[in-house]
Chain A
């Protein structure tokens, strides 16, 4: 019985792994084929040799360098902003009692429920009105302004930091800004790690916001640069495959390096 159970277990795991990896493995193989080779061989035929020509084509003609650049700018600014804003909000909501606190908390709570994708119809008008259309700022402010989950994560975490610390610092003569910046903020490190991970992947993978708000060809991010491959490389799957790999490889590397933090981050983030 035990033997049957174990066999079934490993068989299903191996099958699931094959199903999961197969679509990606064939993309890897396609990415190393020449145009002629791609035409004449099937998806499971190994490439004749591993040269990176398609990668060079994808990277240069697909303007991927610029895509990475824009993605990194947006990612760094919006992550920094999200961390500071999330921590400030959590500090204000957890450490102070003030009039209208319930209203403010309710406003943040309500906002979590609004799926951002539904309000784009009207958000577009606001972004346009602010003159942010077709600039990196559109993506940055939208990443900052609509990220309530991070605030949640900080709120959960800040509650566990004993208030005695604040009080002791107050007795020492520290002001609120100093308490926040020098005492609370450093203690929020685990929450910051969670937010950076979730937000980092979200920003790297975001397609819709840059697609809608940053149509200029100079403002391509990773997702939109890759999406634009369909036009010029429409029939050249080997180049598209290389482009897909260029986008996936950094994700894979980060995943392999930070596995444990990533699992923790997503487990904590999603439960909120």
Chain B
């Protein structure tokens, strides 16, 4: 601990001396006020609302006990949105595999490497609404995808990509892969490149092929970031919102858990039920994070 006490009298000459125990609180006042106002109060209120049948407007909130939670787990139309998450969860495996593949091949010397890296990463930076519209155009009848299939002689495979409830979630999850793959890719690439090049040279001298280099050098070096990405993928697939909301508004069976929560609160004015849903989601996310911290101890996440 730095000792400012010795010099306190000197500095006191020029300024009003503040007791050292108060100083950190002065620095923390605004951040803490924001943290409490916009995170902790809402979370606490959410718990409280979830036990009421409040509509978000009226002055009184009737306590209804656990009935919102019972509704949530017994009414199939409320429960069904969990299944939509599975599409995104499955898609995140595809996303991770693609990211891993491209990160690996681009970690070796490649012509136009920066160009390829830039192309693969750029979608991640694009505005979500712009992506939504781009893919509405991509999937619309006679749009980019249909025309592309026609061009490849696969015209028979044209579908109502966003109109058919059996297909819509594949289309939307695919859009999500297009959008987010680049981030995973760049993170994996960064982790691979943090391995000293001399390791590869040594491996090559020992006669290790590409596969052996991947298996014994690359894979171990990126294991932490890959496992972290998987855990984030689970909570991410439950919290999917932007792409389906912008593109379909949740129509044709593409409603996700978060869209449902938001609709329930702001469209149907069932703040109580919506809060119960949000609480459930929060618990699932916390549980997953807790499991992650148990299996993947990551010193980087340690705050103190």
* Other-chain contact of B35, A96, A125, A145, A248 (Cβ < 8 Å): A145
**Inter-chain contact B134/A122, CB cutoff 8 Å:** no
Judged by a CB distance under 8 angstroms, whether B220 is at the interface is no
Q: Which residues of B contact A142 (CB under 8 A)?
A: 38
A231 to B266, CA, bound (A): 20
Stretch at the interface among B72-80, B182-190, B195-203: B182-190
**Chain B CB within 10 Å, residue with most, of A9, A43, A102:** A43
* Other-chain contact of A95, B2, B15, B190 (Cβ < 8 Å): B2
**Inter-chain contact B38/A141, CB cutoff 8 Å:** yes
Q: Report which A residues bind B (CB closer than 8 A).
A: 5, 9-10, 12-13, 16-17, 19-24, 26-27, 30, 42-44, 85, 88-89, 91-93, 95-99, 101-102, 104-105, 107-109, 111, 113-115, 117-126, 130, 141-142, 144-146, 148, 151-152, 155-156, 163, 166-167, 170-171, 173-176, 180, 201, 204-205, 207-208, 212, 222-224, 226-227, 229, 237, 240-241, 243-244, 247-248, 251-252, 255, 259, 262-263, 266-267, 270-272
Task: Pull 24 A–B residue pairs with CB atoms less than 8 Å apart, ordered by A.
Answer: A13-B105, A16-B116, A20-B120, A20-B123, A23-B137, A92-B23, A96-B20, A96-B23, A108-B303, A119-B42, A119-B46, A119-B278, A124-B266, A151-B31, A155-B303, A166-B2, A170-B7, A174-B11, A205-B126, A222-B129, A240-B133, A248-B127, A267-B186, A272-B301
Judged by a CB distance under 8 angstroms, whether B286 is at the interface is yes
Interface residues in B120-140 by Cβ distance below 8 A to A read 120-130, 133-135, 137-138
- Given A118-B261, A223-B127, the answer on whether A180 and B303 have CB atoms closer than 8 Å is no
Q: Which residues of A contact B3 (CB under 8 A)?
A: 167
Query: Whose C-beta in chain B lies nearest to the C-beta of A204?
Result: B127
**Inter-chain contact B190/A114, CB cutoff 8 Å:** no
* Other-chain contact of A244, B21, B30, B34, B130 (Cβ < 8 Å): B130
Q: Can you list the 3 inter-chain pairs with the closest CB atoms, starting with the nearest? A: A145-B38, A145-B34, A92-B27
Write the B103-123 contact mask toward A (1 if CB under 8 angstroms, else 0): 001100011001010111111
Q: Report which B residues bind A (CB closer than 8 A).
A: 1-4, 7, 10-11, 14-15, 18, 20-21, 23-25, 27-28, 30-32, 34-35, 37-43, 45-46, 49, 56, 98, 101-102, 105-106, 110-111, 114, 116, 118-130, 133-135, 137-138, 142-144, 147-148, 150-151, 178, 183, 186-187, 190, 210, 225, 228, 235, 239, 241-242, 246, 258, 261-262, 265-266, 271, 274-275, 278, 281-282, 285-286, 289, 300-301, 303-304
The interface residues of chain A, by DSSP majority, are classed as helix
A229 to B49, CA, bound (A): 35
Shortest distance in angstroms between B103's beta carbon and chain A's nearest beta carbon?
12
A156 to B302, CA, bound (A): 10
* Other-chain contact of B119, A21, A26, A115, A171 (Cβ < 8 Å): A21
A152 to B298, CA, bound (A): 14
Q: Which residues of A contact B25 (CB under 8 A)?
A: 92, 98
